[in-house]
Amino acid sequence: MSKTVLIVDDDPTQRRLLQAVIEKSGFKTLQAESGDAALDKIAGANGGFIDVVMLDLIMPGLGGMDTLAELQKIRPELPVIVLTGRGSIDAVVAAMQAGARDFVVKPASPERLIVSIRNALEINTLSTEVKRLNKTSQNTLTFDDLIGSAPSMRSVVAMGERGAKANIPILITGESGVGKEVVARAIQGASERSGGPFITVNCGAIPENLVESILFGHEKGSFTGANAKHFGKFQEANGGTLFLDEVGELPLDMQVKLLRVLQEGEVDPIGSKRPVKVDVRIISATNRDLSVQVKEGRFREDLFYRLNVFPIDVPPLRERREDVAALLEHFVKRFNAQENRSVRGASPETLTMLRGFGWPGNVRQLENAIFRAVILSDGHMLKPEDFPQISGLTPIIPRAETQAITPETDIETSDDTFEILDRNGHLRSLEDIERDLIQFAIETYSGHMSEVARRLGIGRSTLYRKVREHGMDVESKRGTG
């Protein structure tokens, strides 16, 4: 999305000159002839879309310094670049001390103007990302930090804000990769427990023989290998929130113990002589239909009703396509800061392509695709060819052109396809095809093994056995939410 620059200058000729230079570089512009008019625009309904202010210091009425002071009160994070005439160094120093990000001496070259704007935007991006990371680490992320304004997401926010005000259990449902953990963190940040512990447990990733110890803890010597006392996740989350991801994967015997914790507010560590009281907010998440699992006898009905007191369903990305642009901008900012890149956004045709894609892996898949595109991109704008798995525009380079062909490496493959024939036109072995298919599924669903198993139509234990047999790397592909 193009950034918007507000030009504040009492000289209409100067405003037009600045507008021509700035818009030629791909930015949008708004104009204000005075400090008062600028403040009205920034405080107005569309003020949130203003990304940078170019502010003349010498104006009749509300001058530049006074305007800058007011901006610091209402939008302290909004970068301001001051415009000044030659010889007014004292004014520039005062403006920088008052919060201006940069200054430009009039008449300025177009290159100087654009460099100043881009530097201000990059600094602001880094600052925003640092704030977001701090809020995540401090467990103070709120619904204001969620990306997206689609009607379906607005209902999620409304429900989440209501649920946050009470201490009732919340069950977040939705497909893999929609961002259920982000919603859970926002509920925590909007509640009285904000800043308290936020402990995440992936119930589908815990070995069955360790579930009880990990969740409820154990005493020293309570079983072979218990060399020290261990506080379980419930005790770690005391005073905060415990997020039970993939709760439908819990074994039935652990479901009984979880139900008791919810009813009594206390846990029984293995080997302990007495229960331990805990004050924990339970937020669960699943990409399965628990009511179906109840009917099939794989999930306890009483636990289901206990967890499903306040359900929130997060829509898949294909049902909130209008949020793709905002998500893209957010991820581009993050990866620019993370990888020291300077991508400014996506071309219109790229954005149209991304909005039209189905995104079976939802937001997580979009995030991974943008990460790859930012790394692949040679320019400042992402193009369709930077998303080869979606656009199909990047030609497949045969391995014969990049490495020597051996019996083990004579198959042409791409990141999003796998071949059933070898280079001589003969069928490949079933074992090789199976390995490629499983690898493709793991990458497509970001290492979410329950979803991979469901899509392949096999059990999770069978899937893990085949992964071990083929020596595959799952951890590097694994995501959360």
| Residues 88-109 pLDDT 10s | 677 778 888 888 888 888 777 8
- Across the range 251-279, mean pLDDT stands at 91
Which tens digit of pLDDT belongs to each residue from 341-400? 878 889 999 999 999 999 999 999 999 999 999 988 888 889 998 898 888 764 333 333
User: What's at 338, amino acid-wise?
Assistant: Q
Query: For the range 410-418, what are the long-range contacts, defined as Cβ-Cβ under 8 Å and sequence gap of 24 or more?
Result: 415/388, 415/389, 415/443, 416/388, 416/389, 416/440
Say if residue 434 is exposed, middle or buried (CB neighbours under 10 Å; 0-12, 13-18, 19+): middle
**Three-state secondary structure call for residue 242:** strand
User: What's at 421, amino acid-wise?
Assistant: L
> CA 77, 81, 83: angle at the middle one, nearest 5?
150
> Higher model confidence: residue 147 or residue 225?
147
* Beta-strand relationship, 276-277 and 266-267: antiparallel
Which tens digit of pLDDT belongs to each residue from 195-215? 899 999 999 888 888 888 999
pLDDT of residue 178: 95
**Minimal CA–CA distance to 14: which of 37, 36, 31, 39?**
31
> Higher model confidence: residue 108 or residue 79?
79
Give the chain's domains with CATH numbers.
Answer: 4-135 (3.40.50.2300), 143-315 (3.40.50.300), 318-374 (1.10.8.60), 399-477 (1.10.10.60)
**Three-state secondary structure call for residue 381:** strand
Determine the Cα–Cα distance for residues 93 and 391; give it in Å rounded to an integer: 50
**Minimal CA–CA distance to 25: which of 58, 52, 47, 49?**
52
% of the chain residues with pLDDT over 70: 90
Q: Give the H or E element holding residue 318.
A: none
Beta bridge partners of 29: 5
Q: What are phi and psi of 170, to 5 degrees?
A: -125, 135
